[in-house]
Structures are given as structure tokens and as C-alpha cells.
Amino acid sequence: MSEIKTVLVTGGMGYIGSHTVIALIEQGYQPIIVDDLANSSPEVLNRLKIITGKDIPFFKGNVCDKAFLEKIFSSHKIDAVIHFAGFKAVGESVEKPLEYYRNNLDSTLTLLEVMTEKGVKNIIFSSSATVYGTPVHVPLTEEDPIGTATNPYGTTKIMQEKIFTDYAFVHKDFNIALLRYFNPIGAHPSGLIGEAPYGTPNNLMPYITQVAVGKLPRLTVFGNDYPTPDGTCIRDYIHVCDLADGHVLALKKLAQNPGLVIYNLGTGKGTSVMELIHAYEKATGVKIPYVIAARRPGDVAENYAGTLKAEKELGFKAKRTIFDSCADSNRWQQKNPKGYN
């Protein structure tokens, strides 16, 4: 058993990172945040302080900058790292493949180099269900092969998983958890932090909430002719606070020195696009106007998680419902119609 107290959270000002920082503090850990604020706001730090009552150490900089990272590792006794930092817009990755490969792979390689030099041997990597490619069957389990991703963003996740796997093969004293998230939605129940994408949202929930507050005129549903009960895509939507709890459970697992472990984090249930729209309307009383458009390239009909392994080995089970997620997302957007601005 290795004791884990201080946790470096890269990308800790982002959507999943900031919720995880709260979960860490609630469970008695000391997080240190690193973020270059490329896709997040400095206001997040103020909100985290209001929610947790704690001053959280924050360093502004890029994880690809080795000298910057070395300074942080030298000045703090870090026991573990949770690595969220990375570019994450699927569509943008198709337009800017080089930037995505450079940033996402470089950050992981630099981080592993510095961790090795400083003797820090525990890391959780923020992976994605994207690594499975087009599912041959659902639910997807950790034993399923990781396929070919349909975009450069997904390919960077596959490549990063490969880097960690090859590294773990040689460094048997390293503990690495690869967490494959399904579709995070929702927000902290305080309404103080949530998902605040720059520009037009890529993900369904922030799109719905922006329509709900009148920021966007209507929702576009891509495709209603899929082989699913209502013709729209089915995904596994997990509340971001459940996802955050999963990271804390994974840290506890790393303290047992398990080597390399891989877990799906999802609810184990699929919800269609139309079901999510109706759930939102029911949870909030707000009508969501929508139009049907052609399918988007690369979208798969159905995708949800097999969650038995995470349940058995981590004690992880999503507790919050789709209604909770809709109500929390709505509260966040109503309180912050312009995000953190």
C-alpha cells in the first residue's frame, strides 16, 4: 500500500477536472491544479473556493513545458497525478490534426518523463469510450479491442493508452489507471460550476441548455434514421459528479499498487437523443425546439458501457439519474447564461 495525499490535477480548471477537484477535497486529498486556461476560465478557481472553502494551489502553464512541470514537482511532494489536460473537440481535431497530436501526446510524454525523474509512481489518465471505435456489440467491456477511432482526437486517446501500456510493461512499480469515460453531462448541484464550451457546443447537453436559455434558437438532431427504437443515437450519459467520484475510487485502487488497470466509467444504460430532450423538458418545464438534420459522419448508432468491472474492483456505481443531470445542467446554465464570463 502506498499512501496518496497530494494529487496534481492537470487540466483541473476544465469541466471534468474542476468537479474532480471538489470530490478530492471532500475525500480528504490535497489537489494542486495545473492548467493553461486554453479552454477554461480563471473564474473557476474562485468558484471552487466558494464550494470547498479551500484555497487550492494553482499553476498556470502548459503540461508540455518540461521546465514548468519540474518546478512544480520539485516544490511539492506529489503522490499521484490525474491527467485531464488535452484538446478535446472532435470536429476541431479533424481540422487541426497536427495541433491535437502535438499537444495531447506531448503532454503525456512530458508528464511521464518528469514523474519518472521525480519518483512519482501513480497516475490516472482521462481516456474515452472513443477508443473502442465503432462498437461491434453493446455494452462495451474493457476486454473489447480498442478499434480505430473515427477522428484524430480519438486517435490521440488510443495512442496515449498505448504509451501508458508500454510504459507499465517495463516499469512494474508504476500504477496507472486508464479511465474510459462515456458521455459526461450535468453540473455541480450548487450551479456554480459546469460545462462552459467556447463557441458552439460539440456536445448534446450544453447545446440543449443553451437553447433553453435562448442563447441558441433551436437544437439540431443529427439523424433520426438509425437502427434504434426512436431512430436517434443512443449514448451512455453519466453525471459529471459520478464521474468525479470514480476518480477518487481509482486513486484508492492505485494505493494498492495494482500496476496497470483499465475501467469504463458509465451508467451501463443507453439513452437516446430524443429521450434526453424529453427528460430535460420534464425536469425543467422548458420546451426545447429542435430540427432534424442529416447524420454526422463518424457517429455510431448505439454506445453504452459495461460497468461490471468498475463495480466489482472499484465499488463504482453511478448514483445520479438522467433527471438529476438535466436539472443540474439547467441550474448551471440559468445561473450562468454566458458561462464564466
Q: What does the pLDDT look like over 157-173, one tens digit per residue?
A: 999 999 999 999 999 99
User: Are 321 and 276 contacting, i.e. CB atoms less than 8 angstroms apart?
Assistant: no
Query: Which residue carries 499512501 as its cell?
Result: 3
Q: 253 pLDDT exceeds 80?
A: yes
Q: Which secondary structure element, helix H or strand E, spans residue 81, and what is its range?
A: strand 80-83
**Which residue bears the cell 418545464?**
285
Q: Which residues contact 116 (CB under 8 A, 6 or more apart)?
A: 171
- Classify domain 6-187+237-266 by CATH architecture: 3-Layer(aba) Sandwich (3.40)
Mean of the pLDDT values across residues 274-287? 97
- Residue 55: C-alpha distances to residues 9, 50, 248, 251, 285 (Å): 15, 9, 20, 22, 37
Q: What is the pLDDT of residue 299?
A: 84
Is the pLDDT confidence value at 298 over 90?
Answer: no
Q: Rounded CA gap, 213 and 334, in Å?
A: 7
70: helix, strand or coil: helix
Quick one: pLDDT at residue 109?
A: 98
The mean pLDDT value of the chain amounts to: 96
Phi and psi at 95, nearest 5°, equal -80, -30
| pLDDT one-digit tens code per residue, 105-143 | 999 999 999 999 999 999 999 999 999 988 889 999 999
Residues with Cβ within 8 Å of 34's Cβ and at least 6 positions away in sequence, in order, are 8, 9, 10, 11, 12, 58, 59, 61, 63, 69, 72, 85
Residue in this structure with the C-alpha cell 464564466, named with its chain if needed:
340
pLDDT band at 297 (very low <50, low <70, confident <90, very high): confident
- Boundaries of every domain in the chain: 6-187+237-266
Catalytic residue (one of 153, 167, 181, 263)? 153
In this prediction, residue 27 has a pLDDT band, given cuts at 50, 70 and 90, of: very high
Q: pLDDT tens for residues 32-62? A: 999 999 999 999 999 999 999 999 999 999 9
% the chain with pLDDT above 90: 92
pTM of this structure? 0.97
Closest CA to 339 of 200, 204, 238: 200
Specify whether the CB–CB gap between 39 and 77 falls below 8 A: no
**pLDDT tens sequence across 187-216:** 999 999 999 988 778 789 999 999 999 999
Per-residue pLDDT, 198 = 80
Could you give the angle at which helices 43-52 and 15-26 cross, rounded to 10 degrees? 30
Decide if 153 is catalytic.
yes
Closest among 327, 331, 296, 2 to 191, alpha carbons compared:
331
Residue 72 has pLDDT above 90, yes or no: yes
Q: How confident is the model at residue 300 (pLDDT cuts 50, 70, 90)?
A: confident
Confidence at residue 155, expressed as pLDDT on a 0 to 100 scale:
96
Q: What is the per-residue pLDDT across 209-250, written as a single tens digit (0 to 9) for each? A: 999 999 999 999 999 999 999 999 999 999 999 999 999 999
CA distances (Å), 59 to each of 33, 115, 194, 264, in order?
A: 6, 17, 21, 30
Q: DSSP label at 296?
A: P
